[in-house]
Amino acid sequence: MNLAIFLDGGKIMKTVLQKVRGGLNTKLGFFLLTVVLFAIKSYVAYQNKFTLGVEGSIQKFLLAFNPFPAAILLIGIALYFRGRLSYWLMLLIDTIMSTWLFANILYYREFSDFLSFSIMKGSGSVSNNLGKSLMGILRPSDFLVYADVIILILLLAFHLIRIDPRYFKLRFAGIISVIAVVLFGFNLGMAESNRSGLLTRTFDSNYIVKYLGLEAYTVYDGVKTTQNNAVKAKASNSDIKPVLKFLKKNHADSNIQYKGVAKGKNVFIIHLESLQQFMINYKWDGQEVTPNINKIYNSSDTIAFDNFFNQVGQGKTADAELMLENSLFGLSEGSAMVTDGTTNTFQAAPAILDQKGYTTASFHGDVPSFWNRDNAYKSFGYQYFFSKSYFPKVKNYDAGYGIKDKLFMEDAANYVQQLPQPFYAKLITVTNHYPYILDKSNKSIKAWNTGDNTVDPYVQTAHYLDQSIGEFYNYLDKTGLRKNSMIVLYGDHYGISNNHKPAIAKILGKKKVTNYDLAMFQKVPFMIQMPGLKGGVNHTYGGEIDVLPTIENLLGIDSSKYVQFGQDLLSSNRNQIVSFRNGDFVSSKYTKYGGKTYNTTTGKELKNTTATQTSAIAKIQKYVTTELSLSDKVVNGDLLRFYKPKGFKKVDKSDYTYNLTKSLKRLKASQKSNPTSVMAKNNGQSTLSDYSTDAPELKNIDTSELVFPTVK
């Protein structure tokens, strides 16, 4: 009986195998085999050769699914050709796609990012460096990307699969292409539902590859680059003239009283993720939510601003960074740091200070490719970019957008202490970011009770962010860094979007929110602290675009020679116009938001404006529109390549690398060649023991036990 079943089973197996083999001997069968092998290979490479941050079942599914549409479409091209030729074409296309994957694997290993057209075309330096280090970074397993091609060739060579010379109907080839497009549409739909704004905001090349695949990323990048290049090719020397004319006409003289008061000091730019101004001095659950930041805000040596607005567009954090360090606006189509950060000429704060003898460094607890920072920072002239791989991997150290703030600030201190002084250091926090994820052991305040689940935990992550700032400040005090530093703190943009009106009303203690309330809800904290600084709360209306000229004046740098759209916030003849990215505005007199106009002081809507009001509002609107469009021209046309500020040396991107080993070696060497860092002054001993944190993740770990990567 058992034997009979066994024999039967054997027969069935045999027929199945025969059928499969018969199938593979047809052109369609061979095509499907090629596609499936390619998809498996891609999936294995995604898992083992890249760090895509795949989370949740949808992302896992899409990672396995996304090679199919591209493979069907591209390898399917071969089906339009006859006989043997179509087989060779399938193999050729497969080889080309595999080589592209291979190249990306190598590039990713060195730069934690995917190859883009601007990288390949723009910076020969990058490819040179890659060429040189190629042998060093190549691993035998990389060649496995060709495994499927070799298998297919062997199968054909040994006649295990026979070539089907029959004509494949064009109609069927067409159907296969259509199927590929439909599958891609399905893929895109699922991706967008999991991560809205995937293609419009282009946060990170990793995201596009994770959701849509390497091939789709390449096409996407190609289209964007072509559009971008076309605009740049048309731009010329004379296009900068109207910009310079506008800036000259609207120049506000810097405040002479503050000129150069921070000259030679270290500069800290502390990026308070999603922190809004209303949180300052705000109480909830019987306590201050941000007591440490409040203390800074209320201190007599802090200049704080209570009418300071975020001006970001879809590029959110990236727009804030771009504005703060360049005094140029982000673009309305998405992050300019992504579209233009790699190739454009910039005259940014890090480069300006670098040329004044500063060490410049940015710190961020996530992968370096997010918002294209790894490339844009080179254009900005950052000497160092300390991102995720520089920091110790402690258990549970990560939440949402990167390393949790308390751990991140302490990790950053490890490198801050090694920076030759004076330095310009930007620390980007992330924990207070939508969807405000925080584990229970880090929560020390109740969530709000507006009933809006998205909004309610915001107060908890904001509280956590504040604690991390408090801990960092203590360290600065202990090490004496506070005394010789100017500290700039700012909230990058709203945390609670306008989609949550009922919750906003509850938080503000109002029945209903008007557009005016929403406009005022765009205020973010901005403060500058330095021992001896004549402080106080300044009520001028301004925004992120104005930060750079303000800081430059404090550092004794003449901002008027640069193309910067902002005005010194401490100047007495500012126009006090805050342009929002969509053309709305706030000014000291009038506010226009969401199609309605208000009196800024009273918040009353202006329904029937007088002739004087109408013309005043029109004048402001004209300023706003002109300012935005001229800034866009500078960015889209890469106009700074035609402009040379006196005494400023153009940034050469090839001077910079954020490669872990190379950067650590450079930092180490600088301790001897320029022994001005906090650590060098402490006889080369780490000061990290001065850092105290109550981070639960470090409960049983001493600061000296934290494992930072090292070099010989």
Catalytic residue annotation: 317
DSSP string of 551-602? HHHHTT--GGGS------TT-TT---EEE-TTS-EEESSEEEETTEEEETTT
Which residue, among 131, 140, 107, 5, has the nearest Cα to 374 in the 3D structure? 107
* Among Mn ion, ligand GP9, none, partner that 94 touches (CB below 5 to 8 angstroms by kind): none
Taking the least distance from each CB to ligand GP9, the nearer of 200 and 287 is 200
Closest contact distance (angstroms) between CB of 374 and ligand GP9 is 11
Closest contact distance (angstroms) between CB of 433 and ligand GP9 is 6
Is 461 a residue that touches ligand GP9 (CB under 6 A)?
no
User: Torsion angle, CA of 292/298/303/307, rounded to 10 degrees?
Assistant: 90
Dmax over Cα atoms in the chain, in whole Å?
Answer: 102
Q: Which of 366, 410, 568, 627 binds ligand GP9 (CB under 6 A)?
A: 366
Instruction: Tokens for 264, please give them.
Output: 């030679």
Residue with smallest beta-carbon separation from ligand GP9: 316
Taking the least distance from each CB to ligand GP9, the nearer of 46 and 370 is 370
- Considering only the stretches 325-333, 427-435, 464-472, 601-609, report the one whose residues sit in contact with ligand GP9 under the rule CB under 6 A: 427-435
Site for ligand GP9 in 76-105 (CB under 6 A): none
Closest contact distance (angstroms) between CB of 309 and ligand GP9 is 16
Q: Which of 173, 247, 376, 430 binds ligand GP9 (CB under 6 A)?
A: 430
Closest contact distance (angstroms) between CB of 447 and ligand GP9 is 21
* Among Mn ion, ligand GP9, none, partner that 275 touches (CB below 5 to 8 angstroms by kind): none
- 49-80 residues labelled b (16+ CB within 10 A) or e (exposed): bbebebeeeebeebbebbbbbbbbbbbbebbe
Closest contact distance (angstroms) between CB of 386 and ligand GP9 is 13
Closest contact distance (angstroms) between CB of 432 and Mn ion is 9
Strand, coil or helix: 487: strand
Closest contact distance (angstroms) between CB of 321 and Mn ion is 9
Alpha-carbon span 458 to 453, nearest angstrom: 10
613 φ/ψ angles, rounded to the nearest 5 degrees: -60, -50
First to last CA, the chain: 71
211 φ/ψ angles, rounded to the nearest 5 degrees: -85, -40
With contact defined as beta carbons under 8 Å apart, do 429 and 436 qualify? no
| Number of residues binding to ligand GP9, judged by CB under 6 A | 9
Going by C-beta distance under 8 Å and a sequence separation of 6 or more, which residues neighbour residue 144?
41, 44
Residue ranges that bind Mn ion, judged by CB under 5 A = 316-317, 492
Closest contact distance (angstroms) between CB of 402 and ligand GP9 is 6
Alpha-carbon span 448 to 457, nearest angstrom: 7
Instruction: Tokens for 428, please give them.
Output: 């980007």
Taking the least distance from each CB to ligand GP9, the nearer of 27 and 433 is 433
Alpha-carbon span 377 to 372, nearest angstrom: 8
Is 210 a residue that touches ligand GP9 (CB under 6 A)?
no
Is 370 a residue that touches ligand GP9 (CB under 6 A)?
yes
With contact defined as beta carbons under 8 Å apart, do 401 and 434 qualify? no
What x-and-dash track marks residues 400-419 binding ligand GP9 by CB under 6 A?
A: -x------------------
Taking the least distance from each CB to Mn ion, the nearer of 63 and 320 is 320
- Considering only the stretches 363-371, 451-459, 474-482, 656-664, report the one whose residues sit in contact with ligand GP9 under the rule CB under 6 A: 363-371
Q: Which of 224, 259, 265, 316 binds ligand GP9 (CB under 6 A)?
A: 316
Taking the least distance from each CB to Mn ion, the nearer of 273 and 374 is 273
Alpha-carbon span 448 to 460, nearest angstrom: 8
Taking the least distance from each CB to Mn ion, the nearer of 221 and 492 is 492
Closest contact distance (angstroms) between CB of 516 and Mn ion is 24
Going by C-beta distance under 8 Å and a sequence separation of 6 or more, which residues neighbour residue 293?
272, 275, 279, 280, 466, 469, 489, 525
* Among Mn ion, ligand GP9, none, partner that 627 touches (CB below 5 to 8 angstroms by kind): none
Which residue, among 542, 437, 422, 545, has the nearest Cα to 486 in the 3D structure? 422
Query: Distance of CA 692 to CAs 141, 390, 485, Å?
Result: 44, 20, 20
Taking the least distance from each CB to ligand GP9, the nearer of 430 and 481 is 430
Closest contact distance (angstroms) between CB of 210 and ligand GP9 is 15
* Among ligand GP9, Mn ion, none, partner that 405 touches (CB below 5 to 8 angstroms by kind): none
With contact defined as beta carbons under 8 Å apart, do 515 and 596 qualify? yes
Alpha-carbon span 619 to 686, nearest angstrom: 57
* Among ligand GP9, Mn ion, none, partner that 366 touches (CB below 5 to 8 angstroms by kind): ligand GP9
Q: Which of 218, 302, 317, 339 binds ligand GP9 (CB under 6 A)?
A: 317
Residue 429, judged by CB atoms within 10 A of its CB (0-12, 13-18, 19+), counts as: buried
Residue with smallest beta-carbon separation from Mn ion: 317
DSSP string of 151-182? HHHHHHHTTSS----SPPPHHHHHHHHHHHHH
Alpha-carbon span 482 to 475, nearest angstrom: 9
* Among Mn ion, ligand GP9, none, partner that 430 touches (CB below 5 to 8 angstroms by kind): ligand GP9
Q: Which of 41, 388, 406, 433 binds ligand GP9 (CB under 6 A)?
A: 433
- Considering only the stretches 232-240, 365-373, 379-387, 451-459, report the one whose residues sit in contact with ligand GP9 under the rule CB under 6 A: 365-373
Closest contact distance (angstroms) between CB of 12 and ligand GP9 is 55
Taking the least distance from each CB to ligand GP9, the nearer of 317 and 567 is 317
Taking the least distance from each CB to ligand GP9, the nearer of 67 and 330 is 330
Query: Distance of CA 164 to CAs 75, 84, 161, 404, Å?
Result: 17, 8, 9, 58
Which residue do the tokens 């120049």 mark? 251
Which residue, among 67, 91, 372, 44, has the nearest Cα to 214 in the 3D structure? 67
Taking the least distance from each CB to ligand GP9, the nearer of 492 and 627 is 492
Taking the least distance from each CB to ligand GP9, the nearer of 371 and 424 is 371
Which stretches of the chain bind ligand GP9, using CB under 6 A?
A: 316-317, 366, 370-371, 401, 428, 430, 433
